[in-house]
Amino acid sequence: MLRSQHQNMSRIVETNQVSALHLRYSGLPLVNVRGPVTGTIYKFSPTQPVQPVDARDGQILLASQLFTQTV
């Protein structure tokens, strides 16, 4: 592989990394939520009310006011 090709591949990997938000669900006792961007199913329950959520989905879910972001 040429050096310039390797450098381009490294940039692609770095820009495709997606961060996660940790969200707490404050609604019904048990809920499965489909991420509006990724289609990922997130399962929130009384025993696991906080879940890591893809940041792209998390921003939209936070707007619903049923979720809060945790640290």
The radius of gyration of the chain's CA atoms, rounded to the nearest angstrom, is: 16
Q: Is the confidence at residue 59, as pLDDT, over 60?
A: yes
pLDDT of residue 8: 36
| 68 pLDDT tier (thresholds 50, 70, 90) | very high
pLDDT of residue 42: 97
**Cα–Cα dist 38/57, whole Å:** 7
- Dihedral of CA atoms 10, 40, 60, 46 in degrees, nearest 10, equals -120
Q: Is the confidence at residue 14, as pLDDT, over 50?
A: no
pLDDT of residue 71: 80
Evaluate whether 56 touches 18 at the Cβ level (below 8 Å): yes
Report the pLDDT averaged over residues 19-27: 93
The domain ranges of the chain are 19-70
pLDDT of residue 17: 55
